[in-house]
């Protein structure tokens, strides 16, 4: 049986001090693949770095996390679209609608969600 972590943000700065240890421990414990859903442009480079450090185990997704949908969401979506056209990703994610914390950008979240669903279909 192959174990896959389908959603991990090990590239976030909370793991800066022990990221290598955490990933190696997961691999040693039988997690063969780790899928890395994107959040937004601000965390992109650290996500890609983790996939370069563990190319056999860590795989990037690209998307705009719903809680990162703010005034600049169209710029963020353009970044996602450009990345999909020019690089390889295993999925479009992390996407959705998240109104738990804040409803300020509810309509923009809906737009971003639909846009990214369409990008995923292409």
Q: In Å, how far are 4, 16, 83, 112 from 71, measured between CA atoms? A: 35, 29, 20, 12
**What is the CATH T-level fold of the domain 3-121, as seen in this structure?**
TIM Barrel (3.20.20)
- Residues 30-89: pLDDT tens digits? 999 999 999 999 999 999 999 999 999 999 999 999 999 999 999 999 999 999 999 999
Local structure of 71: helix, strand or coil: coil
- Chain-centroid distance, C-alpha 94: 5
* Residue 67 CA neighbour count, 13 Å, CB half: 7
Q: What is the pLDDT of residue 122?
A: 86
Local structure of 92: helix, strand or coil: strand
Instruction: Kindly state the percentage of the chain with pLDDT values over 90.
Output: 99
Q: Output the pTM of the full model.
A: 0.93
Rounded CA-CA distance 20/34 in Å is: 13
Q: Where are the domains of the chain?
A: 3-121
Q: Retrieve residue 1's tokens.
A: 């049986």
- Name the CA radius of gyration of the chain, rounded: 15
């Amino acid at each position: 049986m192959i174990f896959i972590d389908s959603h991990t943000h090990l590239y976030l700065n909370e793991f800066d001090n022990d990221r290598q240890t955490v990933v190696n421990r997961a691999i040693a414990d039988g997690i063969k693949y780790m899928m890395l859903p994107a959040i937004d442009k601000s965390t992109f480079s650290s996500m890609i770095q983790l996939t370069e450090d563990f190319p056999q185990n860590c795989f990037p997704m690209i998307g705009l996390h719903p809680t990162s949908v703010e005034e600049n969401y169209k710029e963020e979506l353009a970044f996602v679209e450009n990345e999909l056209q020019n690089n390889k990703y295993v999925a479009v994610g992390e996407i959705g609608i998240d109104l738990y914390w804040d409803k300020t950008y509810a309509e923009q979240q809906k737009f971003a969600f639909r846009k990214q669903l369409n990008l995923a279909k292409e």
